[in-house]
């Protein structure tokens, strides 16, 4: 999916992926993210996870849609400082920074502090198969070693729908991040009403810890 697809979804308010609560896997495994220098949240939308993280550790989200970024700050009564760096606009309020622009145009120079942890919820699975290798190579390029990524992903019968969100099997996660050390922290059945209505009969969620291999 290209940038226009996502920007249009925000224009039309088609944001079924957004949750009005902090993600339960972040609450369960957040200590894996708050023990470092800073957290990167790629493809962050206006997730409440950003606020939870920024209360604990410097946090940088990256989001394409200006609508999403503005909603994030206004809905929480925050008045960010805003600076432009070419294609990237940087919003900052305390420990929370959001880089508005294309993740693939973000460099370490846009980061106001080092990040060595990453929370991927609905980011890898939002990308077409062809873009995933570039994405999985991009994250380690932005993260300071030794880094750690916590990934929430899922699998479903790909014959039922094309995505996004996409089904990303464990074998692909391992291949994308090789030679990193990949652990499955949790795997569970999680068919929601939203996807049952779209014809799915099963849905498996996985939580991975992916760690830099020295
Ligand atoms: C499925 S949503 C997930 C949002 C968020 N992670 C959450 O949990 O609510 C994917 C988000 O990624 C953004 N996005 C898509 N491609 C992007 C890119 N190349 N760079 C930055 N953001 C992107 C979209 O605008 C959208 O808000």
| Ligand 1 pocket mutation pick from 12, 14, 27, 43 by most atoms within 8 angstroms of CB | 43
pLDDT band at 142 (very low <50, low <70, confident <90, very high): very high
pLDDT of residue 2: 85
pLDDT band at 91 (very low <50, low <70, confident <90, very high): very high
Question: Can you give the residue range of the structural domain that contains 113?
Answer: 3-10+20-211
pLDDT of residue 140: 97
Residue 15 placed within a domain:
no
Q: How far is the CA of 71 from the centre of ligand 1 (A)?
A: 14
6-17 tens-digit pLDDT: 999 999 999 999
Closest CA to 89 of 80, 100, 78: 100
* Mean pLDDT, range 116-138, rounded to an integer: 97
CATH at 30: 3.40.50.150
pLDDT of residue 153: 98
pLDDT band at 213 (very low <50, low <70, confident <90, very high): confident
Could you give the number of structural domains in the chain? 1
pLDDT band at 104 (very low <50, low <70, confident <90, very high): very high
pLDDT of residue 214: 79
| Strand-pair category, 96-100 with 88-93 | antiparallel
157-191 tens-digit pLDDT: 999 999 999 999 999 999 999 999 999 999 999 99
| Ligand 1 pocket mutation pick from 6, 8, 20 by most atoms within 8 angstroms of CB | 6
Q: Which residues lie below 8 Å from residue 210, measured CB to CB, with a gap of 6+?
A: 148, 149, 150, 151, 173, 177, 180, 181, 182, 183
> pTM for the whole thing?
0.97
Q: Which residue has the higher pLDDT, 118 or 213?
A: 118
Exposed / middle / buried, residue 131 (Cβ in 10 Å: 0-12, 13-18, 19+): middle
pLDDT value at 76 more than 80: yes
Q: How far is the CA of 67 from the centre of ligand 1 (A)?
A: 12
Mean per-residue pLDDT over the chain, rounded:
97
pLDDT value at 1 more than 80: no
- Expressed in angstroms, the distance from the first to the final Cα of the chain is 34
Exposed / middle / buried, residue 18 (Cβ in 10 Å: 0-12, 13-18, 19+): middle
Residue 149 placed within a domain:
yes
Q: Hey, whose CA ends up nearest to atom 19 of ligand 1?
A: 102
Where does ligand 1 bind, in terms of residues with CB under 6 Å? 6, 17-18, 43-45, 47, 62-65, 68, 102-104, 121-123, 126
Residue 175 placed within a domain:
yes
pLDDT of residue 51: 98
């Amino acid at each position: 999916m290209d940038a226009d697809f996502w920007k249009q979804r925000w224009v039309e308010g088609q944001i079924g992926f957004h949750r009005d609560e902090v993600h339960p896997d972040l609450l369960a495994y957040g200590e894996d993210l708050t023990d470092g220098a800073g957290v990167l949240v790629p493809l962050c939308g206006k997730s409440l996870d950003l606020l939870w993280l920024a209360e604990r550790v410097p946090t940088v989200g990256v989001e394409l849609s200006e609508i999403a970024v503005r909603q994030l700050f206004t809905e929480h009564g925050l008045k960010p400082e805003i600076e432009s760096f070419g294609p990237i606009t940087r919003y900052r309020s305390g420990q929370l920074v959001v880089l508005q622009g294309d993740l693939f145009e973000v460099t370490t120079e846009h980061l106001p502090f080092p990040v060595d942890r990453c929370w991927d919820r609905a980011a890898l699975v939002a990308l077409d198969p062809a873009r995933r290798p570039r994405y999985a190579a991009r994250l380690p390029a932005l993260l300071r070693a030794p880094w750690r990524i916590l990934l929430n992903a899922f699998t479903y019968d790909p014959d039922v729908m094309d995505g996004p969100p996409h089904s990303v099997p464990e074998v692909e996660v391992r291949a994308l991040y090789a030679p990193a050390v990949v652990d499955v922290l949790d795997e569970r059945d999680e068919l929601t009403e939203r996807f049952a209505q779209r014809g799915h009969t099963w849905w498996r969620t996985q939580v991975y810890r992916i760690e830099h291999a020295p």
